[in-house]
Structure 1
């Protein structure tokens, strides 16, 4: 393998926010256009079963940064304003090894501005500027707009930042948040990069997270398509819902509203795909970077229910919410390309990238290196299941194996069971009929054996039995 002057490969970590695992063309989505990411994934290792163990923004991003599980880093739900002081971080380890460490985009750590091992962070959590927020006052994107003479608030559309409603981006295309990322990255590569050391660059896009405000031409592209309706399981309710808030978690939702939401969601992903292509073109236009080896890891912090089973947003253990795209590719590197069904999670990102950089993995990290897949070495199965959780109004804990998905709702003591091998879309709940639920209960009990905040008593469990979970819909049928 070629080596840069520094002796270590460059590393590019690209993350999106709220992108489902099935939302890449190469992952079987025939309606979504992601040719650039598809090409990268085809030349690398594509992990089909990648999960977020607490599928909401801040806990997931703590895990990405530190390699720690939610149980270890202490945040099992969404909460702003909580200090974080991990024993080691991915950028900190790389910085100590001589890397220039840079982040551009969303970070969502507290206190805002703390670098956690990055030499520099160019920061914008969202286009929705909140100058009076105690947690998100800083927004470098807005400062960039102001330097261009734009005084209008970029979130003037009023579209909810967690909702299903849609409006096209109304300002000039060149003023879009994604284009800010392109401009800042180009400036880094051409003006601020230290040519004497390797670069660790985290490109952190905040879309396709709502607000759903795509550029008009991308939105039109998907409005013209005959997009399939959301997947509705046999266990979801039939009765229509009225008077729902714009950011409601549980429907049923208006079919036309959800069609527009899916079109906007796909449009935002398509735009990011084009932005990534532009940034990599800039990278390849710099001779020394074009000749150096670099690893690229792409993933997302959680998915989006997008109306599946009449549910919306994230935080749930269902595939649409907890499973994410995850692949490792590269430039001037020898990668044993292909697909794998090994169970992986965001705890694995930091150990993997440190391993690929030739560095020791701190013992404190909970994740496992996946570098053996990249190098084509004999694969050793790292885990037989993944345990996930998120505490909220609809608190849920879940186990996923090669075949089964088990979900427990502690507030109602309900449980669901899905056979992912024959029912990957989780349309039939087998909790009342499959004897395998006993094995999944054992795994759940083992993961909760030292916990005092929840009480998991098998004798008190209520299988949903292919009926709507009361945690979402009460006694509705």
Structure 2
């Protein structure tokens, strides 16, 4: 049974726009942010952040309250978004060379372009693929420049000879694309903002544009939950001494640094929010707002210092859970969707909206049904979560999450297992794996994961 809470119903009467057929396909804009956790927008209940445009998208459309990535790191997560498959299936992450051609050939940009859409991409592609230029009709792949160990990592692109922040540049390229898109074709525009990702080589970490200097200036950010020493001590040694801890020192280890980092992180999100507003104004100016679907999400979650950690990568919900919004002006549905949805659902949803059959190799589910008044039952009860990159500074891990339970283990130390009752313990405070009263549940979850994992590993495109 779908658990859908209707907040409001609204109808836009425009000839033909109620039709989802291939003869009248909608325009689609897919917006991806970098390291924005699920509650880093006002609509999610965050009373400190200023995100009026994201909030408006969520209020007018569908907000997926339980959205997750299957792998909480940018490279693998973006490959999963492109291909609609789990990391264990597509096999791509850092240090793996290029993504396998059989998966990129079955990616949403390749197939959507073939179907007749005018396609564009601007921002961080995040996947190593030498054929990027031919994948889209119009595209530019860029990200922070690590060779600059200061604000120049975010300020090196120019508009009319003026150097601008990457967020402003991406918004500018989006509006330029909309102004130049051919009228005889529907368009599909992918925007991938580098923000609010910290600029790791720099001491200050977070950089934003000048108009946002005073935003949050007088705001005090309360310290995050789970900062007590016992939560840090409960972590295995390789996590306590790993990259999550190193980046905590970079961003959060003093009260002053924590306040500075949180203000910077929020300013960068607010800057993206501003660009979304400019893009929507351009759609309205061109009369395309009533037939353009906007999908919004992030590539992974983020630790604010919980468990005395920073970054992502681990199997806790802090790094797995992301915001997700679908705004379809042709739909009469708006509200909060409670079902578990994933990053691998983005590509099937785009195809469903475009009236194209998805490849059989894709493992995600279309979310377009939630836009219908009599939507069908959503068929997900569990998903695999995984981070398979074998690197010394980040312990690879894997697990499975249902609505009520989460099980995970560290791949190189499978004896360390964690089990959480998410219904009674949503913050994952109490690891039940060592409690004999829950050993039957532990065994069941371990078996469930291993069966699902085997199925994923042997699946081919």
- TM-score, normalised with respect to structure 1: 0.79
In the alignment, what sits opposite 2:429? 427
Matched residue of 1:144: which SS? strand
Query: How far 1:63 moved relative to its partner?
Result: 1.1
Query: How far 1:424 moved relative to its partner?
Result: 2.3
After superposition, residues 74-473 of structure 1 pair within 5 angstroms as 74-75=91-92, 77-79=93-95, 81-85=97-101, 86=103, 87-112=105-130, 114-115=132-133, 117-128=135-146, 142=156, 144=158, 148=161, 175-190=164-179, 192-211=180-199, 212-216=206-210, 218-232=212-226, 235-237=230-232, 248-249=246-247, 253-287=253-287, 289-290=288-289, 292-331=290-329, 333-391=330-388, 392=391, 393-412=394-413, 413-433=415-435, 435=438, 436-449=441-454
Matched residue of 1:221: which SS? coil
Matched residue of 1:373: which SS? helix
In the alignment, what sits opposite 1:53? 70
CA distance in 2, matches of 1:44, 1:103: 23
CA distance in 2, matches of 1:448, 1:181: 37
Whether the aligned pair in 2 keeps the contact of 1:302 and 1:324 (CA below 8 Å) is: yes
Query: How far 1:186 moved relative to its partner?
Result: 2.0
CA distance in 2, matches of 1:2, 1:356: 18
After superposition, residues 11-22 of structure 1 pair within 5 angstroms as 11-22=28-39
Matched residue of 1:397: which SS? strand
Query: How far 1:60 moved relative to its partner?
Result: 0.9
Query: How far 1:356 moved relative to its partner?
Result: 1.0
Whether the aligned pair in 2 keeps the contact of 1:129 and 1:142 (CA below 8 Å) is: no
Query: Quick one: structure 1 residues 189 and 450, their matched pair in 2 at CA, closer, same or farther if it must change by over 3 Å?
Result: closer
CA distance in 1, matches of 2:181, 2:43: 33
Query: Quick one: structure 1 residues 39 and 149, their matched pair in 2 at CA, closer, same or farther if it must change by over 3 Å?
Result: closer
Matched residue of 1:299: which SS? strand
CA distance in 2, matches of 1:27, 1:82: 36
Whether the aligned pair in 1 keeps the contact of 2:36 and 2:323 (CA below 8 Å) is: yes
Matched residue of 1:50: which SS? strand
Query: Quick one: structure 1 residues 116 and 344, their matched pair in 2 at CA, closer, same or farther if it must change by over 3 Å?
Result: farther
Query: How far 1:45 moved relative to its partner?
Result: 1.5
Whether the aligned pair in 2 keeps the contact of 1:296 and 1:328 (CA below 8 Å) is: yes
Query: How far 1:256 moved relative to its partner?
Result: 2.8
User: Residue deviations 1:144-201, cap 9 Å, x none?
Assistant: 36x6166xxxxxxxxxxxxxxxxxxxxxxxx1111111222222222x2111110101
Query: Quick one: structure 1 residues 426 and 256, their matched pair in 2 at CA, closer, same or farther if it must change by over 3 Å?
Result: farther
Whether the aligned pair in 1 keeps the contact of 2:31 and 2:296 (CA below 8 Å) is: yes
In the alignment, what sits opposite 1:468? none
Query: Quick one: structure 1 residues 257 and 66, their matched pair in 2 at CA, closer, same or farther if it must change by over 3 Å?
Result: same
Report the RMSD for the aligned CA atoms in angstroms.
Answer: 3.0
Query: How far 1:328 moved relative to its partner?
Result: 0.6
Whether the aligned pair in 1 keeps the contact of 2:29 and 2:292 (CA below 8 Å) is: yes
Q: Which runs of 5+ in 1 are unaligned?
A: 131-138, 151-174, 454-477
Q: Which runs of 5+ in 2 are unaligned?
A: 1-13, 200-205
- TM-score, normalised with respect to structure 2: 0.82
CA distance in 1, matches of 2:32, 2:118: 19
Query: Quick one: structure 1 residues 448 and 114, their matched pair in 2 at CA, closer, same or farther if it must change by over 3 Å?
Result: same
Query: How far 1:244 moved relative to its partner?
Result: 9.9
Query: Quick one: structure 1 residues 225 and 322, their matched pair in 2 at CA, closer, same or farther if it must change by over 3 Å?
Result: same
In the alignment, what sits opposite 1:43? 60
CA distance in 1, matches of 2:130, 2:379: 35
In the alignment, what sits opposite 2:8? none
Query: Quick one: structure 1 residues 84 and 126, their matched pair in 2 at CA, closer, same or farther if it must change by over 3 Å?
Result: farther
Mean alpha-carbon deviation: is it higher for 4-13 or for 372-381?
4-13
